[in-house]
Structure 1
Amino acid sequence: MQQPSPEPTPVILAIDDLRALPRATRLARTSREGVQLLQEHQHIFIDELWLDHDLGGDDSIMPVVTLLEEAAFYGHPFQIGTVYVHSANPIGAETVVRSLSHWKYRVRRAATQ
């Protein structure tokens, strides 16, 4: 009798300059790293994408948001189960939620830890 094949490991990506986010399978600390991380997963289903708005200094999540928006605009949105926004910056977080919701990504606010 064959053993059932194991469930695939979910793809959980996170972009955050401070939090550890232990559930994440990959973690980027800057927007540049975040863009690169998403580009590497452009044709792979992402179960969860965790985004922090403020990434230290003048860096923010907005270059990542732009990448997601442009992909959707050109008809090739990233395949993401849920985007979680967990920023301590309420205005920045709401901007991300509105922008990505407009492009039909499933977005949820998550409590900051």
Structure 2
Amino acid sequence: MAKITYIEHNGTEHQIDVKNGMTVMEGARDNGIPGIEADCGGACACSTCHVYVDPAWTDRVPSMEPMEEDMLDFAYEVDSNTSRLSCQIKVKDELDGLVVRMPERQI
């Protein structure tokens, strides 16, 4: 299990314990965290779970696959260093303490 901190665009923080094997998106969805819409349910078929991974964590999350990179083309205000789709980040013990920020809006 990992404690993930989700920070809304307005600065509101939510610390959630997310079970290993789930995704960062599922943790947000299952706990009613605003700012992650997850329209496709985690199929990497939209960009409505876009987050900015805290710079301290960018090298510690799994690498991005080409499909995720393609879907980020549709996301709002992508940052080439920190933008990820939260449905593609699987939670594991090593991600305990992960911090993600939500964009102003999802497209």
- Larger RCO, structures 1/2 (Cα 8 Å, 6+ apart): 2
TM over 0.5: no
Query: How does the TM-score come out when normalised to structure 1?
Result: 0.29
Q: Of the two, which has the highest radius of gyration?
A: 1
The two structures have a TM-score, normalised by structure 2, of: 0.30
